Chains A and B, each alone.
Chain A
Amino acid sequence: MANLPGGKPQDRQSGLRYPTNGKTIYHRPLNRTKTAELSQASFAYLFSEMVSYAQRRVTGIQDLEKRLNTQGHPLGLKLLDLLLIREPPRSQLRPLNIIALLHLIKINLWTHLFGRQADRLEKSSNPDTPDEYMIVDNEPLVNAYISVPREMSQLNCAAYVAGIIEGVCDGAGFPARVTAHSVGGKEEGEMWPGKTVFLVKFEGEVLERESLIVGKG
């Protein structure tokens, strides 16, 4: 690695600057922060700023949720690669079907982001919508310090997490639309007032491919 940076003339020409110790992101290990945790308070502060940033210049709740979703999307794309490279080499498998993908989200993604697994994974029981899956979180971390005003009761700021999920699905080649819905306070949701369902609706082509793959196997 003789020609790594260190203030060589050609580096200066390209206008790039390196930290004085010569270390770039390429020098840092990908695995080091596996168990490191971040302060929830600082996250909550940052997230509230993100929500109020997204709230500027929006016309309605749907628009706001869409913006939050867009903020999360690139994160999902990046996390997909990161999560798989952190797996032990033997199980570094790309998800090939919907179930494998949703398991990756429920277990690996959730553990990475929130320190625990998602609470439930369900397939839509409605025969008209076989393309819909639900990931249930009883108490989303992002909503911990958010109280939604009454006139915006439709809003669920976990749309940001929905964006992350959407990014993971899109990145893995399973284009989908993911939305967050609050279901707390209804029937069985009594115990968890903040209960949120992430509705994952896959595009038709995903199901088509799924049936082909299963047919082959």
Chain B
Amino acid sequence: MSYYFAIIGTQDNPLFEYDFGTSKQGGDGQPRFSDQARHLNQFVVHSSLDIVEELQWTRGEMYLKVVDKFFNNYISCFATAGNVKFLLLHQPTNPAAGAGAAGAAGTPALASSARSSTSIGANPTSPQTEEAVRSFFAEVYDSYVKAVMNPFYRAGAEIGSPVFRARVAAAGRKYL
């Protein structure tokens, strides 16, 4: 399971990005994206912004759950009060499940074995995964607000703080 996390500003400009792997079930926390996928991830995440912009006016919750799916990439979204979007792309590693999901939508749950069905990540639309991603977003949002409250932070600027990055990494290790 690999994750790509991006914070997108109000002008659709990236403020922060970070990729990491799962730390659950003996994962080492390293992303398993191929070199090409790294570039593709940015496209996939940005293309989901259109859907987010439609959804965000229909629901007041900040956590919009999985908003988009591109082959084996699932995108969860969290829209902050200031209309900054947190987007998390998750890519289950199981290639068999991936092929199944690519062929017919909504089958990854069947394709994944009983062993992996309890793990978050194997089934990106399960309630457990949703809750884990929600906790991750909530923790990142907390750090994000602190970063924004910095009097030297200008709205829409990139977040370059190494402490912020460490906080996001810690949240990723804790929940995903």
Contact = CB atoms under 8 A, between A and B. Distances in A.
A and B part of one assembly: yes
Interface of A: 1, 3-5, 10-11, 14, 16, 24-26, 28, 30, 74, 77-78, 80-85, 92-96, 100, 171-173, 209, 213, 216
Contacts of B154: 74
Contacts of B102: none
Given A1-B170, A25-B149, A30-B146, A80 B81 contact: yes
A173 B83 contact: yes
Nearest to B80: A81
A114 to B, nearest CB: 19
Contacts of B150: 25
Contact of A26 (B56, B83, B143): B143
B162 A94 contact: no
Contact of B141 (A85, A93, A173): A85
B155 A92 contact: no
Contacts of B79: 94
Given A94-B81, A172-B82, A173-B83, A85 B145 contact: yes
Given A94-B60, A171-B155, A172-B83, 11 more contacts: A1-B170, A16-B162, A25-B149, A74-B154, A74-B155, A78-B149, A78-B155, A81-B82, A93-B61, A100-B60, A213-B57
Contacts of B170: 1, 4
Contacts of A81: 80-82, 144-145, 148
Q: What 5 pairs between A and B have smallest CB-CB spacing?
A: A93-B60, A84-B81, A171-B82, A81-B81, A173-B83
Interface in B142-176: 142-150, 154-155, 161-164, 166-167, 169-170
Given A94-B62, A94-B81, A96-B60, A77 B162 contact: no
Contacts of B81: 80-81, 83-85, 94, 171-172
B57 A96 contact: yes
B166 A3 contact: yes
27 contacts: A1-B170, A4-B170, A5-B162, A24-B163, A25-B149, A26-B147, A26-B167, A28-B146, A30-B145, A74-B155, A77-B82, A77-B155, A78-B155, A80-B81, A81-B82, A82-B149, A83-B81, A84-B62, A85-B81, A85-B141, A92-B62, A94-B56, A95-B60, A96-B57, A100-B60, A171-B155, A216-B58
